[in-house]
Structure 1
Amino acid sequence: MGTPLKSPPVYFTVVQARFNTLLKLGDYLPSIQEAMRKAGFPDFTSRKTVALQFAAQEGQATPPSVVNLDQFLFGNADKTHTFVLNPDALTLQSTRYGRFEDFSAQFLKGLGLVNDIVQLDFTDRVGLRYLDHVAPRSNDSLDLYVVPEVRGLGARLAGELVHSFSETFSRVGNVQLRSRILIQDGGLAFPPDLTADGMQIDTRFREYSGRHATLDTDGFIEERMAFSAPAVGDQLHAIHGVISEAFKAAVTDHAFKVWNEA
């Protein structure tokens, strides 16, 4: 286990496992809700979302169809951790990450609770995603915190920088990694495909306004295998290792020094 930073920049973390579709998920919901409640996630809500479904047909283009999906949310009392259950996936979102070992263990426990009730058959995608808010302290420049490769051309172009965006997609073994870095002025923001769902964001992130970088690091493994919580755990460890290296490659020694100060 590594030593966690004293003031880490991570403000939102997501882990997800996709599995075989459960068309009768609603039948199991009362048992799942009670198990989640006893595990420390008593704050239950449900909602309907829409998704685009693509059906490929040989020799012709088929327009996507809109599908309505039910989502079930199980949050802790502090609103810092929320499980999101879909018919084909379980997600854990957190605004108080802590350590990877604890966070992944919490997710695997929730996944195990779902499996105990529905008897999952397989998983086909496991992912881990971090949002980091890199903001310079007073009298510091953001350039002291992120490496030149991700700063864009803002310093070389005339006029006022609106934003600078970089994206890198890479593969390390069976881990696929998408690293996005956005530099802009203003307050804390989320990517378009993520929402805090009413969760409690740390004050130091909510109250900051100014030039900052948002690091959005998304690692995943797409591989169908018979359901096994230990195997999912192994995949998460592999993904975490790749994400850790990507994070270290994007920020500077000065940033780590600042984040390690009390």
Structure 2
Amino acid sequence: MNGIMSNPPIYFTLAYIGFDEVRALAKYVPDIQEEFRKAGYTKYAEQKSDRLVIESSDDETRPDISVREEISWAFGHSDSQSNYLLSESGLAFQTTCYLGHIDFFERLLQGFSVLRRIVGIETTTQVSIRYFDAVIPSPGKDRSDYMASKEPSEIRLDSDKFRHRATNSYSVFNTTIDVPDEGTMGCTLMIGTSWFNSRIGLPPDISAEGLKFEERFVHEDPIKHVVVDFQHRLEVEMSFDEALINNVLLQLHGAMKTAFSEIFSDIALKEWQ
């Protein structure tokens, strides 16, 4: 979790800052893209998707349901190991080559400073981090050897038509952090464990198109492995202050690091160290 491990299980990470929706963001994208291009993020892509929107209506028994087209913009580094993903309500920094949380958070804040300068965003609504770890057993070991808890029960179907692919378990925890001049704030930590017999991948809510993964995480054939998805977020409106946001990120990371040491067994921690 801290980038010091010699053989860390981390294969994908993202850090995110949310803000109030800017529907006119598209007109600023050319200037934003030019700033990122100068910083080495030369790969550009625009992505469109549909989002189901449910809003209250005059008739309280029948909400208004509509489909809204969402646009996001990806600014990828020339080495294809990291990118910025921008939407009308947030900026994420993503990487498949995690070198420690200090550099990681610094990159996110550098990207957000571009938005502040060009778009004029001064208020944030969310700060979050998300880490994906892949547990790939060494020869002679089982996935369960690496986990502090047992594999969740799986549903078995006695038919040749069904091949078991994954068993998932999610836990949600309330946490707190102390924010200077703001006091104690509540956060949400979610940890998901997925026991797979497949290739290593990412959930559908993650957009990692154009990013290259480390070779040890790339397998053509299905393999037995466990993916642990750590998500820790603070959702509160705050005036942007770089030192304040960095402090929040460090505290979110600190709590996640503690969870990391409890999720995995001593066998895992020793092998990765």
Equivalent position SS for 2:228: strand
| 2:223 is the counterpart of 1:222 | no
* Structure-2 separation of matches of 1:122 and 1:55: 24
* Structure-1 separation of matches of 2:228 and 2:193: 5
Distance apart, 1:184 and its partner CA: 2.1
- Equivalent residue, structure 2, for 1:26: 26
| 2:147 is the counterpart of 1:146 | yes
Cα distance 1:139–1:50, how it changes in 2: closer, same or farther (>3 A)? same
Q: Deviations over 1:135-163 (max 9, x none)?
A: 111111112101125x1135xx8989653
Cα distance 1:28–1:162, how it changes in 2: closer, same or farther (>3 A)? closer
Whether the 8 Å CA contact 1:175–1:238 is kept in 2: the answer is no
Cα distance 1:55–1:134, how it changes in 2: closer, same or farther (>3 A)? same
Cα distance 1:119–1:185, how it changes in 2: closer, same or farther (>3 A)? same
Whether the 8 Å CA contact 1:179–1:216 is kept in 2: the answer is yes
- Equivalent residue, structure 2, for 1:197: 209
| 2:213 is the counterpart of 1:212 | no
- Equivalent residue, structure 1, for 2:36: 36
Equivalent position SS for 2:110: helix
Q: Deviations over 1:172-226 (max 9, x none)?
A: 1122011100112122121121132121011100127422110011110000011
* Structure-2 separation of matches of 1:2 and 1:90: 23
- Match for 1:192: what amino acid? P
- Equivalent residue, structure 1, for 2:4: 4
Distance apart, 1:98 and its partner CA: 1.2
134-143 vs 57-66, greater mean Cα deviation: 57-66
* Structure 1 unmatched ranges of 5 or more: none
C-alpha RMSD of the superposition: 2.2
- Equivalent residue, structure 2, for 1:90: 91
Equivalent position SS for 2:223: coil
TM-score under structure 2 length normalisation: 0.88
Cα distance 1:183–1:118, how it changes in 2: closer, same or farther (>3 A)? same
Equivalent position SS for 2:231: strand
* Structure-2 separation of matches of 1:42 and 1:88: 23
Q: Deviations over 1:52-83 (max 9, x none)?
A: 22212473241431111221110001111010
The residue correspondences of 1:95-244 to structure 2 (distance < 5 A) are: 95-149=96-150, 151-153=151-153, 162-173=165-176, 174-207=186-219, 209-244=222-257
Identity among equivalent positions (%) equals: 26
* Structure-1 separation of matches of 2:3 and 2:205: 31
Whether the 8 Å CA contact 1:70–1:86 is kept in 2: the answer is yes
- Equivalent residue, structure 2, for 1:13: 13
* Structure-1 separation of matches of 2:193 and 2:2: 24
TM-score under structure 1 length normalisation: 0.91
* Structure-2 separation of matches of 1:26 and 1:249: 43
- Match for 1:190: what amino acid? L
* Structure-1 separation of matches of 2:64 and 2:48: 22
74-83 vs 50-59, greater mean Cα deviation: 50-59
Cα distance 1:54–1:230, how it changes in 2: closer, same or farther (>3 A)? farther
* Structure-1 separation of matches of 2:3 and 2:123: 34
